[in-house]
Structure 1
Amino acid sequence: MQDPLALLGAVLIAILTFWGTIRERKKSVSIAVAAEIRSIMAMSRINGLEEHLKHLGDVSLSVENSKFPRPSTSTDQSYFTVYEENAVDIGRLEPQKVIKIVMFYQRARNCLDAINHLSDYDFSSSTPEEVSYQYHFLADTVKTLFLFGEALIDELVASSMAAQIRKSSDSLSAF
């Protein structure tokens, strides 16, 4: 017969190891999500997404014969690989963080869908003002999403890690 204290000790070690593993996984997922959010925003800034949409809105006001400009941004690939591949682990984070992460990604998907929609939309019955409004509204949505994303990064990771993520993503333009 085994010593009950040894058995209890083994169970306690197993529980602590399991708890530590889950805690480290949550931390890793938070860092990865924060990095992906910042990377998405950095690449969108480098590509001038907000400015491009505003420009399309401005140009739309002077268009004749409904030959409105179309977005030239490619949205055919998956930009959310960390989010999609870690959905189960993201669901294990604190509920407030999960809600905000899901809100960020759903709004980002909504922006991509809107860009795709505008690139294929039949503007023949639209006025220049209506088209301009759509582009400016989408540009404002992107700006608001980025502000939300920056705040979310600060909630997901410690300030020192947030600074590292921002520094790394800001260096993307050097490539």
Structure 2
Amino acid sequence: MLDDGTGHHAWPYTSVPVSIVGWAVKNRATLQWTDSSVDVYAGVLDGSGAPRCAPGCGRFFHQNGDWSKCPGGAARHYDQSLWLTEGFQGGAGGDCGQRVGQEYFTGALGQKDMHIHPHEVGHTFGLDDFYDWTPPGQCCFLMNAGGATHITEFDTWMLRDFWRRLKNRYGY
């Protein structure tokens, strides 16, 4: 069990709640259910024809926190998205969320550890890739693509270091 880092350099969280606030599909029938407790954006497509949730609800598009164009208001905004893409190999991650192959993600749902998606989540938290070099004394960690299938102690320390450098922006 890894230390959650609470209190490390004034880290303000003991947990981070996650809520699913929307699904994006080309065709509503794809979901094969009628539950309306979560918003469904059907036919809202980006420039490449991929489905997406309402841009008015995305933090990436509204970093000023103005949710006036979000159909569900502030309570239904999203901070990240997970974009499952048919036939996509590997992954991509950044401040707007993660993009991974649909087949990989759905095929790995029952597994204890995944390696591509957690690596991409690391990018969402601001961590860099380690493709060209490995820090001395380290071998196996998520941000060294393919180096681990779970969060390691070194990954935890990288996030702590990122927070140490960023915290002053938020008054900590």
TM-score (norm 2): 0.21
More helix by share: 1
Largest Rg, 1 or 2: 1
More strand by share: 2
Higher relative contact order (CA 8 A, sep 6+): 1
TM-score (norm 1): 0.21
